[in-house]
Every structure is written in C-alpha cells, then in structure tokens.
C-alpha cells in the first residue's frame, strides 16, 4: 500500500482506490523537462482508475514522502 509520511510532523496516510478499494502502488512519472514526480496509481485491470495517477498529498506545506519499496 502507498503510505505517505510527512517529513516535518510524521503524520502518515495510506492511499487506496475509491472505486475498487485496492491499495495503490508507487510509481515515478518523468516530466517533459526530465524531472521526476512520485505518484501512486491503481493497477487493477478493468478498474476505471487503472490509467489514472495521483501526485503525493501535502502536509505542513510540503509534499509527503512515500518510500519506493
């Protein structure tokens, strides 16, 4: 499961798909300028969210981190 943690206060949240209730998996998206963004996505075949991606949530004014296991 994608667990995001705030590096400032330590708050953590888990991410799952609201359509199929499956844990999201971690991935990296490469932008046109070559920089990367950590994302989570649903990998369930046939789920309407299968091809959609989300960026990490915010806490304490910064992106929350998710370890890429």
33 or 66: which carries more pLDDT confidence?
A: 33
Domain that holds residue 46: 2-66
| Mean pLDDT of all residues in 20-33 | 91
How do residues 37-67 score in pLDDT, each as one tens digit? 888 899 999 999 998 999 878 899 988 887 6
Those residues whose C-beta lies under 8 Å from the C-beta of residue 22, and which sit 6 or more positions away, are 16, 42, 43, 44, 47
Model-wide pTM > 0.85: no
Domain count across the chain = 1
pLDDT value at position 39?
A: 87
User: Any idea what the Cα angle at residue 37 is, between residues 9 and 58, rounded to 5°?
Assistant: 30
pLDDT value at position 14?
A: 87
């Amino acid at each position: 499961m994608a667990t995001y943690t705030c590096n400032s206060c330590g708050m953590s949240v888990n991410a799952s798909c609201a359509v199929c209730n499956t844990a999201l998996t971690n991935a990296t998206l490469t932008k046109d300028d070559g920089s990367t963004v950590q994302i989570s996505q649903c990998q369930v075949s046939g789920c309407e969210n299968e091809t959609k991606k989300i960026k990490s949530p915010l806490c304490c004014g910064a992106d929350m981190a998710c370890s890429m296991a």
